[in-house]
Amino acid sequence: MVTAATYKHQHIFRGKEKLEVLQASLLDTLERDGFEALAWAVFPNHYHVVVSNSKGDRSISRTIQAVHKFTARHANNADQTPGRTVWHNYFDKQLTFEKSFMVRLHYVHYNPVRHGVVSDAAMYPFCSAFWFERFAPKSYVETVRSFKDDSIAEVDEYAVEPNSWL
């Protein structure tokens, strides 16, 4: 699982176009480098992604660096702010226990609801909830939903403004 935040948690990727670029860059770069995105949630000031590295030969750090380099350049060009610091940091955590994995899948798929951005995560276009609910087997969706994410030790301190994705 990877979580990344913008510098000072600024809403640099505010608006549909910038979020589309960030989401596409993240998903395309992961796929290019052999990672499979299993769950993702992208916001104007941070993102979460759960990946599988079953066939990747690159480290996740190089992949994330590539995403951040491209998206920082794109955001700075769009805002005419050359040299602005866009990304602050990211952290990754290897999920080795099934329960931990399932809890984080639930957490990431339904993170837009946790942030108060939408009441139904499947309505937020910059996360995997719609895809997950539509294409995953119903029994698997129900299993993931049964794992509550209030036991996650990491604190999500990234306040998201409700309409910042429109």
Listed by start position, the domains of the chain span 2-146
What DSSP state is assigned to residue 128?
Answer: S
- What's the start-to-end Cα distance of the chain, in Å? 26
CB atoms within 10 A of CB 64: 21
- Categorise residue 40: left if φ over 0, alpha if ψ from -120 to 50, beta otherwise: beta
Tell me, what's the pLDDT at 95? 81
Among positive and negative, which fits the CA dihedral 113, 67, 38, 95? negative
Q: Domain spanning 2-146 has what CATH number?
A: 3.30.70.1290
CB atoms within 10 A of CB 77: 10
The C-alpha atoms of residue 25 and residue 65 are separated, in whole angstroms, by 11
pLDDT in tens, 15-58: 999 999 999 999 999 999 999 999 999 999 999 999 998 665 66
Tell me, what's the pLDDT at 2? 94
pLDDT band, very low/low/confident/very high, at 161 (cuts 50, 70, 90): confident
What is the rounded (10 degree) CA torsion for 70, 72, 73, 78? 120
Comparing 147 with 4, the larger pLDDT belongs to: 4
Tell me, what's the pLDDT at 121? 93
Tell me, what's the pLDDT at 165? 72
pLDDT in tens, 105-136: 999 999 999 889 999 999 999 999 999 999 99
Alpha helices in 4-97 (DSSP H): 16-32, 60-79
Cα-based angle 26, 115, 134 (whole degrees, multiple of 5): 60
CB atoms within 10 A of CB 28: 13
Residue 146, pLDDT above cutoff 70: yes
The residue count of the chain comes to: 166
Tell me, what's the pLDDT at 105? 92
pLDDT in tens, 47-98: 999 999 866 566 899 999 999 999 999 999 999 999 999 999 898 888 888 8
